[in-house]
Structure 1
Amino acid sequence: MKKLLLLIAVVGLTFLGWYLASPWWAMKSLADAAQAQDIAALEEKVDFPALRASASEQMNEEIARRRGQNGALGELGGALAERIGDAVIDRTITPESVSGLVASGSLVVGVLPQRLRGQELSWDIEREGFQNFRAIGTFEDGTEGPTLIFRREQLGWVVTGFDLP
């Protein structure tokens, strides 16, 4: 009986350790791969089709929001942007751009405001149940950074989306 209780306690503590530490470890290993610009490691840690779908969805929501603001010209521009948007996203969401997002806070460093360039980006983990967590970026001066969305895949985690501030 004591051996069974000991086994249950060991399994429970192992699970608790994994539950608490694995998101932190996943974000640290992603940040390390981004810092080293290790493309192979980034490709293992990021679900690029899901990340592109997330970017496409965000872009389409923004286009729809702005579409009616400029009358007929806005409608035409919105329709054109939706048609070419997926091609642009496919070319933009790459291991190199994800590396830049994790390391600097921007998919394209040139569009990052000057005051944020060169600032360290720290990441806090926010759990969303057993299947997902968010890594919330914050710059040294307290400015909100990007948020990475992770999904559990077996015992590990992969990036499946992001939110830009």
Structure 2
Amino acid sequence: MKKLLALILLAAALAGGWYFASPWWAMKSLADAAQAGDTAALEEKVDFPALRASASDQISEATRRRAGQGGLLDGIGGVVAERVGREVANRAITPENVGAMVAGGAFASGLLPERLRGQDIGWNIERESFDYFRAIGTFEDGTAGPTLIFRRDGLGWLLTGVELT
């Protein structure tokens, strides 16, 4: 009976440790791969089709919000901008650019305001559920950075989405 109780306690401790430590470990390993420029490791830790879809959806939504009040030219312009946004997301979401975003907070440092260039970015982990967590980026001066969305994949995690700021 004591062995069974010890086994149950050990299993509970391991499950609890995984629950609390695995998001931190996933984010650390992603950041390490990004800083090392290890594109093969980044490809293993990122679901690129899902990440591209996430970025494309955000670009499309931003385009729809900026569209005018529904004139014919606005509609045509919105469709063109949405397709261009989708193409930009498909081409911009690469292992190299994801590494740059994780290491520096932007897909390209030229997209960052001058005051943020060269600042380190820190990541705060927030659990969404058993299957999802978010890594919220914050620059040294407190400015909000991107938010990375991870989905559980077995006992590991994959980067599947981003909320661009």
Q: TM-score range by the shorter chain?
A: over 0.9
Contact 1:30 1:45 in 2 (8 A): yes
Q: Over the residues paired in the alignment, what is the CA RMSD in angstroms?
A: 1.3
1:85 positional shift = 2.6
1:145 positional shift = 0.6
The 1:109/1:69 distance shift into structure 2, 3 A limit, reads farther
1:106 positional shift = 0.6
Contact 2:47 2:159 in 1 (8 A): yes
Number of positions where the alignment pairs a residue of Structure 1 with one of Structure 2: 165
Which SS does the other structure have where 2:22 is aligned? helix
Which SS does the other structure have where 1:142 is aligned? coil
- Structure 2 CA distance, aligned partners of 1:72 and 1:111? 32
Which SS does the other structure have where 1:68 is aligned? coil
Worse overlay, 84-93 or 46-55:
84-93
Q: Which amino acid aligns with 2:35?
A: Q
- Structure 2 CA distance, aligned partners of 1:79 and 1:164? 21
Q: Which amino acid aligns with 1:159?
A: L
Q: Deviations over 1:117-165 (max 9, x none)?
A: 0001000000011000000000000000110000000000000000112
- Structure 2 CA distance, aligned partners of 1:71 and 1:113? 34
Q: Deviations over 1:68-97 (max 9, x none)?
A: 269554333212112233222211110011
Residue number in structure 2 paired with 1:60? 60
Residue number in structure 1 paired with 2:155? 155
TM-score, normalised to structure 1, is 0.96
- Structure 1 CA distance, aligned partners of 2:147 and 2:80? 28
Sequence identity (%): 65
Contact 1:64 1:78 in 2 (8 A): yes
Alignment of 1:2-41 (within 5 A): 2-41=2-41
Alignment of 1:44-83 (within 5 A): 44-68=44-68, 72-83=72-83
Q: Which amino acid aligns with 2:90?
A: D
- Structure 2 CA distance, aligned partners of 1:72 and 1:107? 34
Contact 1:66 1:74 in 2 (8 A): no
Contact 2:150 2:158 in 1 (8 A): yes
Q: Which amino acid aligns with 1:100?
A: A
- Structure 2 CA distance, aligned partners of 1:95 and 1:79? 28
Q: Which runs of 5+ in 2 are unaligned?
A: none
Alignment of 1:74-153 (within 5 A): 74-153=74-153
